[in-house]
Structure formats: C-alpha cells, structure tokens
A = this chain, B = another copy of it.
C-alpha cells in the first residue's frame, strides 16, 4: 500500500461517486463528518481528538504514512516502507533486509537516504485566490495561471523552507484549493526492523489477501540538528488485542483515487491505460525474477524493486478485474446518470461531461507519447531532474514547471543529492525495459521512438548510458546541481546528454496535455464538484491526493463465497501455515523464539476502513486516541478501491501493536524500544 512511482502513472484526480456509504470515505482532517459517524456509531471524535491525531500523523515522502509514538520522535510505520532504506544502508557484509536491524543505541540509528517526514501544522482555504488567478483563462493558459498562483501562495506561506513546507492541494479535482503547511524533518533514521521474512511471510501470494501472518512494522526516528526531536503530541501506544466491532480510525495519506471519473475517462482507463499497465509490468516482473535468479547478490539487490512491481501489478490486475465486472461498472455508470439527471437544467453546471469527453479524446492522442518518452531508472531520473531543475531555477518562481517552484525544490534537491547506492544492472534492466516498451507501443517508425533510440537498440543504449554515466556518484550530482545551467551545458555525461535530448519533447508534451486535457478537465471537474455539492449536500470527501486523511470504520471480518473470514489471526498461526518453502518459510528468529512467544497474541486483523496505496504505515487508532496497529495492506476486494468502495467486503489489513510489542520483547529483543513505547 505504498504509493509507488508506478501507481503514480494513473494519477488523475476526480470526485467521489454518490453520497458516501457507511464507512466509505477518506475524509480531510478539517472536514471530518462527525454527524455522519455519530449517526452510524453513536460516537464521534471531537475537535481536540482530531487536533491531537493530526499533530501525531506523519507523511513519509517516500510514499507512505506513519505516526509519532513516543515523546522522542519515534515513528511507527511499515517494514515495506523502510525496505529501500534498509537496502541503502546495508553493506556487503551486513544485510539489514535479511537480518533485520536493531539500533543498539541512538548513535547507531542510520540515516535513510531521500526520506523526509512531514507533519501538518495548518490548513487554510485558498480557493478564492487560486480560482481568481485562473479567472477566465482556459487550456494551457489556465494551467499556467494556476501553477503561478500556487507557487506564489506556497512561497508566501513558508518563507523558511528549511523546516517548513507549503503545499497547495487541489481537492475535488479543482473544486477547492487548500494550503497545507508542514513541519518537515529531513533527517530520518532507521531504528528497528525485523528480518524481511517476518513482514514478507507469504510473499506475493499472500499480498492483498487475508488471513495474513505478517509483521509489516518498523520504527524510524525524526532528528533535527542531530538530535531526536521532542514530540509530546505523540499517540499513546496500546499493545492490546483489537475488539471485534470496535471503532477504528486510519489517519494517513492515501495516494490517489479516481472515484468519479466520467464514463469517458473510465473507458480510457479501461481500454488504454489498464491493458498497458498489466502487460508492461508483468514483463518487468518476469525480467526481474530471472535476473535475480542469477546470483544471491542480485536476488538481494532486486528484491525491493520486485516487491514494489508485484504490489503495483496486483493493483493493476485488480483494476482490470473491476473493469470487467459488469455490476461494478454498472454502479459507476448509474451514479453518473443520476448526477446528470439531478443537474439537468442547472445553467451554472452546464455540461462538464461533454467537456471531459472532448478532453479525453484529445488525451488519447497524446497518451502514448507522453507516457513512453519518460524512460525509467534511478540514473535517468537523476539526469532528467538535474536538467530540468537547472533550467527552471533560471526562471521566476511563478513560471516554473510544477515540482520546481521554490517550495518544491528543497525535496527535489534532497532526493537528487542524498548519497544512495545505485545498482547498475537493475538500473540498466529498467531503462532497457522502458525503452523497449516505448518502441513496442509507439512503433518502430514513430518519431518519438527515433528520438528515444536514434539508431541504437534499447539494449545497447541502456547499456551504454548506465555503464558510462557518473551520476551514481553523489558528489558529481552535487557539482551539477550547484553549477546550474552552465554545469549542465558543459557536462559530457552521456545520461545528462540523453536527458537533454528528450527535454524539449517532454516540455512540449506537457504543454499539449495541459492545453487539451488538464486545463479543460480541471475546469470541468470544478463544475462537477459544484454539481455534486448541489445534488448531495456538503458531506462529501474529495479524491485522495497523498495528503492527510482520516477514515473511520470498525474491526470486522467478511464473508467470502459463503465462508466467514475471521477478523483476526494469531501469532501462533504462523507456525501452522509455514511449509518450509519460500515464501512460506519461517523467519529464523521466529523458529528460535517459538517456545517463548504467546501464540494467542493477535497478529494481524482487518477493519472496514477505506484506504488505498499511500496509507501504508498509517496508525490504526481507537476511540481513546491510542494506536492499536499499523495499516499495511488491503484485502483482494480493496483492489477496486481506486474507483469505488464496497463496505461489505473491502477491508484494511493491520498488524497489531500487540504483536509488534510481543516481537520486540521475545523475537527481536529491543528492550529500550519497548520501554520508550510504554513511556518509561
């Protein structure tokens, strides 16, 4: 449930479908539907409760969620959210992925490259300002006006970008704009992680499934000025079993949903985007599997990427299944028909569906070029960002590409400059794969294919670029960043030259997409938001935007083909499920700790909370505001969650605080950590 770079392909914001059903909704923290929950559950949190969890909720810029769980900056999240960090800090001799990691003392906690933790400190409505700036502009001009306004608002909101970050968030697809102010912690260190086999027990076969036996938990710590930060606002740690039926809250950052795409947009997703995703990522999966079988080192080096690809692929396969489910698709079609009918004759609404239909038709012509002229791999990504940042930094703040404004640049800089090990074979595999897919989908004779490949093959080009670039060296990246446009112009680095070769086309395509799709669609979606508020009142939640949300629900199993699926698993069940064969082999420390642990500890459990990728690591909070677990997955029915929520079977999968504490006490002993969690 991490928001990965792969999932981000599909990120087009839209709106919810009809009035939210029971337990449906990823609500903004300043728009919590207290009356609705009160009606459903006979209880709802008050403002003090909401303020407290907001202050303890953490966004990890790597694409996950988390929470403060001690007064000294200790952060609870998922193991799969720190797997990349564990790999980055491992050495040839010390593999923290396989063996787990426990910092013996604070001094042993290790920096996670590129990772940043962020806490919302304020939210203010800037809708009038942004909409006013757009005024009557349309297409590309509207997008440019909006981008400029956002850059200005963000800059004004956060003059000190060292410890604050400002972000204007587009809600309801353009119906509302809010300025989120964050306190940011750019020094985040790994504190504890179990052996990978404990969170990954069951591997891909069990991913998105339940019953589940996974210790998908880990701890980080936020530092400032070299010291752990004081976090008195942290959540209370509640190592207790969940009670079936009790209310649960998931507070985190769901990445992206598309719950009110129009029928035309859905058809585009179904007919064009989804088949490419499934096909291309299945092939990447296969390429990774075979490459990793070549040596234990490659198996280790590729593991995190393979896990991420398999996770995304399962989401894509689930979406195709949803698209092929006439009942599911029928519901979406009826929702649109209903909203159209209710909006009939409302002149202020007009016909945004037609506008989106035209824009989507235009986007169909741009999609392949726009998708496939962006090669994959860390090294290319460094090059592209260095090239773009150098050019953008010469422009006034309001005229830059989104993502390169003064408020956004510090994170780009950190991500590009943080030292991080590069695995050349893996980078080459991804670059080669993406170039070969580009040729396949664009066609061998297409001009963009020629731009991408020249007279080289994907294989030869990827090999040449990866084997000769110096961008794996953080010092070289730093020199290019600091040297700005002059350094980029002077660089003969092959990857930099390659990124420069593609840059003009990238910008041209972005402009075309803005002119013919994003501009018109943002305007039309603002109308749709109005239509929806008019038809269904104001108890609506916006689509997910990787910003802070709260969902409420309860601990509950569900019924699968007539069979009741119990809501909890027990730690002892792991030993029954183990076959000895990967990925169902026991972690070695589970074997040695077998006699010590309490087999009846609740291990994982499910709740009805409505979540999606990006929510990984979110604290699962009880009515008292204490954390009883960390959300790490959804069940198989949650895979359609991008487009809709069905409370009868859509479930969040959680690792219990109780099991985490049992593990910290008896399997991966970390007494200081336990004491810290208990506030001792």
Chain A residues near B (Cβ < 8 Å): 202, 204-206, 209, 270-272, 275, 278-280, 282-291, 293-294, 317, 320-321, 324-325, 429, 433, 439-440, 443-444, 453, 455-457, 459-460, 579-584
**Contact partners of A324 in chain B: CB under 8 A:** 270-272, 275
In Å, the complex CA distance between A444 and B283 comes to: 22
CB-based contact A444/B584 at 8 Å = yes
Residue among B204, B272, B286, B455 making CB contact with A579, cutoff 8 Å: B455
Q: Find out whether the CB atom of B317 lies under 8 angstroms from the CB atom of A279.
A: yes
Contact B444 A205 (CB under 8 A): yes
Among candidates B271, B287, B325, B457, residue contacting A290 with C-beta atoms closer than 8 Å: B287
Select one of B286, B321, B443 contacting A282, CB under 8 A. Answer: B286
Q: Within the complex, which residue of B271, B317, B443, B456 is in contact with A275, where a contact is CB–CB below 8 Å?
A: B317
B275 contacts A320, C-beta separation under 8 Å: yes
Report the bound CA distance from A271 to B321 in whole Å: 7
**Across the two chains, which residue of chain B brings its CB closest to A440?**
B205
Question: With A271-B325, A283-B289, A286-B290 given, can you name 5 additional A-B contacts, CB distance below 8 Å?
Answer: A205-B440, A205-B444, A286-B289, A289-B290, A455-B579
Closest chain B residue, CB of each to CB of A284: B286
Which residue of chain B has its CB nearest to the CB of A313?
Answer: B279
Residues of B near A202 (CB, < 8 A) are 444
* CA of A539 to CA of B270, assembled, Å: 38
Taking CB atoms, residues of chain B closer than 8 Å to A291 are 290, 293
Q: Known A275-B321, A286-B283, A290-B290; judge A581-B457 contact (CB<8 A).
A: yes
Q: How far is the CA of A453 from the CA of B582 in the complex (A)?
A: 12
CA distance A28 to B317 in the complex (A): 40
Q: How far is the CA of A119 from the CA of B430 in the complex (A)?
A: 49
Q: Are A205 and B290 in contact (CB under 8 A)?
A: no
CB distance from A125 to the nearest CB of B (A): 41
Inter-chain contact B289/A205, CB cutoff 8 Å: no
CA distance A444 to B203 in the complex (A): 10
Q: A103 → chain B, closest Cβ, in Å?
A: 33
Find out whether the CB atom of B278 lies under 8 angstroms from the CB atom of A440: no
Across the interface, which residues of B come within 8 angstroms of A272, CB to CB? 324
A119 to chain B, nearest CB (A): 39
A–B pairs, 9, beta carbons within 8 Å = A205-B443, A275-B278, A283-B285, A284-B286, A287-B289, A288-B290, A289-B290, A455-B581, A457-B581
Most buried by B among A270, A278, A286: A286
| A204: nearest chain-B partner, CB-CB | B440
CA gap between A455 and B576 in the complex, in Å: 12
Residue on B nearest A444 in the bound complex, by CB: B205
Q: Is the CB of A290 within 8 A of B444?
A: no
Cβ of A460: which chain B residues have Cβ within 8 Å of it? 581-582
**What is the CA–CA distance of A272 and B439 in the complex, to the nearest angstrom?**
28
Inside 8 A of A581's CB, which chain B residues have their CB? 453, 455-457, 460
Docked CA distance A599–B533 (Å) = 69
Q: How far is the CA of A285 from the CA of B282 in the complex (A)?
A: 9
How distant is the Cα of A211 from the Cα of B285 in the complex, in angstroms?
32
Q: How far is the CA of A282 from the CA of B282 in the complex (A)?
A: 5
Question: Which residues does chain B contribute within 8 Å of A453, judged by CB atoms?
Answer: 581
**Bound-state Cα–Cα, A291 to B583, Å:** 22
Whole-angstrom distance from the CB of A8 to the nearest CB of chain B? 21
Q: How far is the CA of A133 from the CA of B592 in the complex (A)?
A: 67
| Chain B: CB-nearest residue to A324 | B271
Nearest B residue to A459 via CB reads B582
Residues of B within 8 A of A293 (CB): 291, 459
A527 to chain B, nearest CB (A): 26
**Which chain B residues lie closer than 8 Å to A320 at the CB level?**
275
Known contacts A271-B324, A287-B287, A440-B205; A580/B455 CB under 8 A: yes
Which of chain B's residues have a CB closer than 8 A to the CB of A278?
Answer: 275, 278-279, 282
* Chain B residues within 8 Å of A433, by CB: 286
Distance of A581 Cα from B456 Cα, bound (Å): 5
| Complexed CA–CA distance, A391 and B358 (Å) | 63
Which residues does chain B contribute within 8 Å of A440, judged by CB atoms? 204-205
Complex Cα–Cα for A456 and B579 (A): 7
- Point out the residue from B205, B270, B283, B456 that lies within 8 Å of A283, measured CB to CB: B283
A49 CA to B317 CA in the complex, in Å?
52
For A279, the chain B residues whose CB sits under 8 A away are 278-279, 282, 317
Residues of B within 8 A of A439 (CB): 205
Distance between A323 CB and nearest chain B CB, rounded to angstroms:
9
Question: How far, in whole Å, are A278 and B282 apart by their CA atoms in the complex?
Answer: 9
Nearest opposing residue in chain B for A275, CB measure:
B320
Closest to A320 in B: B275
Provide the residues of chain B in CB contact with A270, threshold 8 Å.
324
The 9 residue pairs across chains A and B that have the minimum distance between CB atoms: A286-B286, A290-B290, A282-B282, A457-B581, A271-B324, A283-B286, A286-B287, A205-B444, A455-B579
**Smallest Cβ-Cβ distance to A449: which chain B residue:** B205
Shortest beta-carbon distance from A454 to chain B in Å:
8
- Cα A504 to Cα B579 in complex, Å, equals 24
Residue of B at shortest CB range from A581?
A: B457
Q: Which residue on chain B has the smallest CB distance to residue A316?
A: B279
Distance A270 CA – B274 CA, assembled complex (angstroms):
14
Output the nearest chain B residue to A276 by Cβ-Cβ distance.
B317
Residues of B close to A285: CB separation below 8 A: 283, 286
Q: Looking across the interface, which residue of chain B has its beta carbon closest to that of A578?
A: B455
In the bound assembly, the distance between CA atoms of A433 and B286 in angstroms comes to 9
Interface centre among A202, A270, A459, by most B CB within 10 Å?
A459
- Chain B residues within 8 Å of A321, by CB: 275
Q: A452 CB to closest chain B CB, in angstroms?
A: 12
With a cutoff of 8 Å between Cβ atoms, the chain B residues found around residue A204 in the complex are 440
A324 to B584: give the CA distance in the assembly, Å.
Answer: 38
Given contacts A282-B286, A429-B290, whether A206 and B444 have CB atoms under 8 Å apart is yes
> What's the nearest-Cβ distance from chain B to residue A208, in Å?
11
Residue of B nearest to A433 (CB): B286
Enumerate chain B residues within 8 angstroms of A443, measured Cβ to Cβ. Answer: 205, 209
Smallest beta-carbon distance A604→chain B, Å:
15
Q: Which chain B residues border A456 with CB–CB below 8 Å?
A: 579, 581
Output the least CB separation between A398 and chain B (Å): 39
